[in-house]
Amino acid sequence: MKRILLITGLLLFGVMGSLHAQCVEGFSRYNITVKNLPFEGKAYLRGTYLDTYQLIDSAVIKKGTAKFKSKHRLVPQGIYTIVSEDHRFRCPVDLISDGGTYTLIWPSDAQEGVTVLGNKDGESTAELHRFIQQMNTGHVFPPDLQVALETSPDSYLNHIKAILFFSQLKQTVDISFFSKWLRYYDLHRAYSLHVSPYLFRTIAEYLTDYDISLEEKWAVVDTVLSHCNCSTLDPLTAFIFTTIEDLRDPYFDPLLVHLYDDYGHDWIREDRARLVWRKMDRARKIIPGAKIPELVSHDIEGKAHSTKDISTRYTVLWFWDPDCDHCQVMTPQLHEIYQRMDSIADFEVFAVEVNEDYDRWKAFSDEHQLWDWINLSTSMGEANLDFIEYFDIMTTPVIFLIDNQTSAIIARQITLEELETFFKQHPKN
């Protein structure tokens, strides 16, 4: 029995070791000598990770020569650049080769490109490095890529042909663009995250572009992440989540919740795990499709009003503060839409003043004649739930559009123009 357990354990260890090896592939050591440098001081070995540059190593220049050598650690294979302190000098290095040993001689005329010695195919490698240099400075064209691939058929660039499409960013960037890109770009390799910041900046720019619907962004996110493996899925998920989260816009909450619920939690830093959990737990309750609980607040006479008692097809929840500059402008605008659209659409406004300022609330309501909708104030009595916490009211105004047949949220934080358009598209029967 012990022998069987031992054999089974060794087999499992071998399988786990194999999986682990697959997840850490694509790392290398480097040994780089750069000669004839046209400046003094220090030179830096700079790499990329997703959409940012990273400082990998530095070297003091002695008699025009700088030496970079990894001692105790491996670095991800990818495209690196040796730069001067003022970033005027750039010398590209491709660390995909197994040896990672380079001797680079920088010519007196920088326009001549970079010569790579110690390689049987010197001319091809020089052509390849000229192309990499162009890529790092953003000057890449399809013919350049074709030349680089033809002259260096075994090069790293043959694994990242997607650069061809990123050099044509004037074309429409949509899900078909990313689908085409993913046919040429191997996200199953760890070093794919260390290629060029332009690739991932394009993803970030696409996700933060407000002219693109959330459904289209959602589709692109799932398409990209479906091409990842264990070494790239977590970093890229974290990158996408952080890119969207930094916007601090509730419009993106459904996509954030999707990433959190459907892609595990290993990509979340341990020190942020509880914070992200609380944020997603709160957001999940108020994204489109979520059902709201009954809300009770009080009018000028102290009478309680409940969202459950509204008989119209739709309810506009309006949380506002008469001391808020935006509320002072938008509340009368919403009231004008309410009066104008009353005969067209079947909806009611459930407006709750959140600041417990009776005098300001009454004065503003009198001035703008807000008494014909359900006009309530926290100064007239305590609500039945902590709606500030539940509806995540950090600033005012906050708007929700509710379907009263299902108590489900249709939209949150939409503009008044979008609200009016919705009612025009959903008139009374």
pLDDT band at 16 (very low <50, low <70, confident <90, very high): very low
Query: What pLDDT does residue 17 have?
Result: 30
Percent of the chain whose predicted confidence (pLDDT) is above 90: 49
Mean of the pLDDT values across residues 314-321? 97
CATH of domain 27-158: 2.60.40
Q: Look at 149 and 425; give whichever has higher pLDDT.
A: 425
pLDDT band at 172 (very low <50, low <70, confident <90, very high): low
Residue 171 has pLDDT above 60, yes or no: no
Looking up tokens 């499709």, which residue turns up?
289
| Range of weakest confidence among 123-127, 326-330, 407-411 | 123-127
Nearest to 316 by CA among 392, 403, 383, 418: 403
Mean of the pLDDT values across residues 318-328? 96
CB atoms within 10 A of CB 358: 14
- What distance lies between CA 48 and its chain's CA centroid? 17
The CATH topology of domain 296-425 is Glutaredoxin (3.40.30)
Cβ atoms of 304 and 298 closer than 8 Å: yes
Mean pLDDT, all residues of the chain: 80
Residue 79 has pLDDT above 60, yes or no: yes
Write out pLDDT tens, residues 250-294: 889 999 999 999 999 999 999 999 999 999 999 999 999 999 999
Q: Look at 139 and 396; give whichever has higher pLDDT.
A: 396
Query: What pLDDT does residue 70 have?
Result: 85
pLDDT band at 179 (very low <50, low <70, confident <90, very high): confident
What are the boundaries of each domain within the chain? 27-158, 164-284, 296-425
Residue 157 has pLDDT above 60, yes or no: no
Mean of the pLDDT values across residues 125-138? 56
| Range of weakest confidence among 93-97, 106-110, 172-176 | 106-110
Dihedrals phi, psi of 241, to nearest 5 degrees: -60, -50
Residue 138 has pLDDT above 70, yes or no: no
Residue 410 has pLDDT above 80, yes or no: yes
Angle, CA of 122, 128 and 134, to the nearest 5°: 135
Provide the β-strand partners of residue 94. Answer: 79
- Range 106-133 burial, b when 16+ CB lie within 10 A, else e: beeeeeebbbbeeeeeeebbbbbbbbbb
Query: What pLDDT does residue 139 have?
Result: 58
Type of residue numbered 119 = N
pLDDT band at 408 (very low <50, low <70, confident <90, very high): very high
Mean of the pLDDT values across residues 377-394? 92
Query: What pLDDT does residue 199 have?
Result: 76
Query: What pLDDT does residue 13 have?
Result: 29
Query: What pLDDT does residue 130 have?
Result: 60
